[in-house]
Amino acid sequence: MDARVAIVTGAARGIGAAVATRLAQDGLAVALLDLDEESCAAPVATITAAGGKALAVGVDVSDSDAVDRAVQRVADELGAPTVLVNNAGILRDNLLFKMTNDDWDAVMNVHLRGTFLMSRAVQKFQTEAKWGRIVNLSSTSALGNRGQANYAAAKAGIQGFTKTLAIELGKFGITVNAIAPGFIATDMTAATAARVGADFEDFKKAAAMMIPVGRVGTPEDIAHTASFLAGEGAGFVSGQVIYVAGGPKD
């Protein structure tokens, strides 16, 4: 894996930063993409201090031209990217009757359009290499979650997108899978707690009581799964949605 180059979107913090750090530990050179390039400085410094190779790139993943430029920059500075983790995401939670057009469009553009644009840009390098790994971040919210009609629809769409790409790209040696996290302690779940007026520690404790393993997840839990799916050993795993949620999900 030492010759592999990975791109992780939404990599400034949380799950994205943890995945990027883990892939670097696995021996990959990693490009950390986020809306603000400077916001990736801390995880890049962590990776390079440990002897890894990392590059921060600022990009709006919903902007087609910007995505193409960002991916080409990665190819020019790190090498052809053959691993892609589509993690970038935002929340605009609200009940349906309060949800605005902008709330809907913003979430769809980042999660669903961004995953499409990044995958389309990177697959060119993967098909040329006859090898590739795409890992898309879905969510247990794809099964339905109050106040998240936009987010749930986008994450369900990512699951269908994942299965379709697995069919289309398999003959090129490319696997495509999705990870659907359950409750992961991140800034995004802290924002959800704030939206409903709950203390975050109490919010986590209440969530843990509903999870069979008795705890909430961490970004590292997702990073371990992404590491497996991005590796050589996952070459016969494709088109799957893996729920990393501390218990079974339908």
Contact 28, 54 (CB under 8 A): no
Structure token digits, residue 184 = 């992961």
Annotated catalytic residue, options 104, 116, 125, 151? 151
Residue 28 in contact with residue 3, Cβ under 8 Å?
no
CA-based angle 162:158:246, to the nearest 5?
90
For 149, residues 6+ apart whose C-beta sits below 8 A from its C-beta are: 96, 99, 104
Instruction: Give the helix, strand, coil percentages of the chain, each rounded to 5.
Output: 55, 15, 30
How large is the C-alpha radius of gyration of the chain?
Answer: 17
CA distance 231 to 234: 6
Cα gap 120→204, rounded to integer Å: 37
In the residue annotation, 243 being an active-site residue is answered as no
Distance (Å) of CA 188 to CA 170, 214, 228: 33, 21, 24
CA-to-CA separations, 31 to 77, 113, 154, 189, in angstroms, rounded:
10, 20, 24, 25
Catalytic residues: 151
